[in-house]
């Protein structure tokens, strides 16, 4: 009775929990090199991207981003891009193997998203995304998990494209918004492929309504959609953060935590059988119609 | 064991609440730790103080538990984060 206004005490937490069984973010993609071969003092080398040697150079430490910070993104023997923080101008210098097509590829798919991230304009997710019921719907998976194939199928059914790989997002107090990135789609990826031009490209900023995490299953598996919550939801989103490793960890975690609270995330079992894509498509549309009653379309 | 000692929560560690779950994130190791309800309360209480006595005092005000059990549980809970330098015991001057 003396303690009647106190909470019940649980002793089940006394052992510090072991780490969640998730895969570490792939920080092995990059190494920081403090002995640059250019006038820039800092260099971040990327591992074997598209069979090219690529590196991001800067005159200041990467985390100390301020106005007038000088940047160079170099694709060895192909092209170098130069810009200054706070500026909307970017210049490029072709190298011996550089072509117009390669410049387009590297700028559209890699450098421009990188620039927008470093300028704190958008947070990019590794995701395909299309429009369903006037909302952005994101498809996430690891490489070769069916994201491009599913995005391609939705485009063929008349949905508009936001992206086939890098989804630009930002948030306000209530919602997360998705911005269409580039009007190119690459259903079958080769190295340095710009992709097929997509006429049906989303021109509006949309609310990011749903994220589907694609789970590759046997050809005979049922198409099952299960809502993810809590840590499982968060770790899937975290594992699909595209360029965010360049940002302060606290900024990444704050943004992703906020996104996880505002956006519904579901896992969807994908039977590994192209003849069943229609079934997967139908299931997603029915699911979206359930989530958005009264706003149903194709 | 850490009576009268002060500590600092490492600035590399963040606590996030996602739906009904709590997640500790360590920027140094890029590892996540799932906390249950009491673990989350305890970590937030640790964040409010700089010495373990203060944590015990606040927890005793809010929870129906003996001081001895709470002190033992706190030490057990803190052992691994101290080893992993998520909680840093300050050296005495």
Kindly state the average pLDDT of the residues B42-50: 93
Q: Is the confidence metric ipTM above 0.85 for this complex?
A: no
Whole-number pLDDT of residue A6: 60
3 state DSSP class of A81:
strand
Domain co-membership, A93 together with A176: no
Structural domain contains residue A7: no
Whole-number pLDDT of residue A297: 53
B42 — contact with chain A (CB < 8 Å)?
yes
Domain co-membership, A129 together with A108: no
Question: What span, in angstroms and rounded, lies between the C-alpha atoms of B42 and A13?
Answer: 9
Using 50, 70 and 90 to split pLDDT, how confident is the model at B29? Answer: confident
Domain co-membership, A164 together with A202: yes
Bridging pattern class, strands B21-26 and B13-18: antiparallel
And the tokens for A79? 């092209």
B87 — contact with chain A (CB < 8 Å)?
no
Question: What span, in angstroms and rounded, lies between the C-alpha atoms of B54 and B85?
Answer: 20
Domain of A285, CATH number, reads 3.40.50.300
How far CA A91 is from CA of A39, A49, A78, A80, A81, in Å, comes to 17, 22, 14, 8, 6
Which one of A121, A154, A187 terminates a domain?
Answer: A121
Greatest alpha-carbon span in chain B: 42
Structural domain contains residue A14: no
pTM: 0.83
Domain co-membership, A64 together with A173: no
Q: Do B62 and A6 touch (CB under 8 A)?
A: yes
Domain co-membership, A145 together with A280: yes
Domain co-membership, A287 together with A147: yes
Whole-number pLDDT of residue A38: 53
Domain co-membership, A279 together with A155: yes
Tell me which residue in A6, A12, A19 faces B38 most closely, judged by beta carbons: A12
Structural domain contains residue A279: yes
Domain co-membership, A216 together with A90: no
Q: Give the minimum alpha-carbon distance from B90 to chain A in angstroms, rounded to a whole number.
A: 21
B4 — contact with chain A (CB < 8 Å)?
no
Structural domain of A91: 30-121
Structural domain contains residue A94: yes
Q: Which domains does chain B have, with CATH numbers?
A: 7-89 (1.10.10)
Which one of A100, A121, A142 terminates a domain?
Answer: A121
Mean pLDDT of chain A: 84
Question: What span, in angstroms and rounded, lies between the C-alpha atoms of A96 and A22?
Answer: 43
Whole-number pLDDT of residue A23: 37
Structural domain contains residue A24: no
Q: Do A25 and B36 touch (CB under 8 A)?
A: no
Domain co-membership, A63 together with A130: no
Q: For chain A, give the percent of residues with pLDDT over 70.
A: 84
And the tokens for A198? 């997509």
Q: Do A13 and B39 touch (CB under 8 A)?
A: yes
A234 chain-B contacts, CB cut-off 8 A: 16, 18, 23, 32
pLDDT in tens, B52-69: 999 999 999 999 999 999
Q: Where are the alpha helices (DSSP H) in A134-173?
A: 147-156
What sign does the dihedral A281-A109-A133-A226 (CA atoms) show?
positive
Structural domain contains residue A20: no
Structural domain contains residue A5: no
Whole-number pLDDT of residue A9: 54
Whole-number pLDDT of residue A19: 43
pLDDT in tens, A25-38: 333 334 444 333 45
Number of domains in chain A: 2
And the tokens for B61? 């005000």
Bridging pattern class, strands A52-58 and A70-75: antiparallel
| pLDDT above 60: residue B93 | no
Which one of A69, A92, A121 terminates a domain?
Answer: A121
Kindly state the average pLDDT of the residues A54-81: 88
Using 50, 70 and 90 to split pLDDT, how confident is the model at A44? Answer: confident
Structural domain contains residue A9: no
Domain co-membership, A68 together with A144: no
A9 chain-B contacts, CB cut-off 8 A: 38, 63-65, 70
Spatial contact of A229 and B21, defined as CB atoms under 8 Å apart = yes
| pLDDT above 70: residue A18 | no
Domain co-membership, A113 together with A132: no
Domain co-membership, A154 together with A93: no
Mean pLDDT of chain B: 88
């Amino acid at each position: 009775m003396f303690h009647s206004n106190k909470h019940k005490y649980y002793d089940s937490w006394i052992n510090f929990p072991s780490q969640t069984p998730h895969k570490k973010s792939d920080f092995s993609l990059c190494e920081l090199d403090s002995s640059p071969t250019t006038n820039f003092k800092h260099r971040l080398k990327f591992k074997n991207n598209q069979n090219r040697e690529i590196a991001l150079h800067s005159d200041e430490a990467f985390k100390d981003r301020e106005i007038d910070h000088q940047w160079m993104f170099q694709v060895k023997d192909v092209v170098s891009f130069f810009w200054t923080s706070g500026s909307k101008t970017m210049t490029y210098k072709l190298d011996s193997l550089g072509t117009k097509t390669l410049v387009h590829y590297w700028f559209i798919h890699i450098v421009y998203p990188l620039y927008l991230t470093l300028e704190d304009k958008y947070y990019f997710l590794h995701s395909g995304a299309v429009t369903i019921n006037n909302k952005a719907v994101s498809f996430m998976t690891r490489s070769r998990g069916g994201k491009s194939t599913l995005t391609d199928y939705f485009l063929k059914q008349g949905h508009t494209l936001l992206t086939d790989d890098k989804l630009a997002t930002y948030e306000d107090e209530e919602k997360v918004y998705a911005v269409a990135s580039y009007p190119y789609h690459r259903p079958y990826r080769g190295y340095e492929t710009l992709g097929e031009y997509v006429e049906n490209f989303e021109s509006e900023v949309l609310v990011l309504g749903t994220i589907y995490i694609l789970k590759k299953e046997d050809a005979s598996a049922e198409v099952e959609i299960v809502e993810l919550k809590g840590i499982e939801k968060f770790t899937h989103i975290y594992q699909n953060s595209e360029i965010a490793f360049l940002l302060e960890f606290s900024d990444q975690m704050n943004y992703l935590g906020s996104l996880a609270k505002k956006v519904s995330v579901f896992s969807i079992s994908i039977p590994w059988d192209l003849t069943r894509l229609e079934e997967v498509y139908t299931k997603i549309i029915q699911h979206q119609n359930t989530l958005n009653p009264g706003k149903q379309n194709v | 064991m850490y009576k009268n000692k002060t500590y600092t929560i490492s600035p590399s560690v963040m606590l996030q609440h996602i739906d009904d779950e709590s997640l500790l994130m360590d920027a140094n190791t890029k590892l996540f730790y799932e906390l249950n309800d009491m673990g989350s309360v305890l970590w937030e209480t640790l964040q409010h103080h700089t010495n373990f006595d203060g944590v015990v005092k606040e927890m005793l005000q809010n929870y129906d538990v003996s001081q001895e059990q709470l002190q033992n549980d706190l030490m057990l809970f803190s052992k691994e984060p101290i080893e992993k330098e998520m909680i840093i015991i300050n050296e005495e001057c």
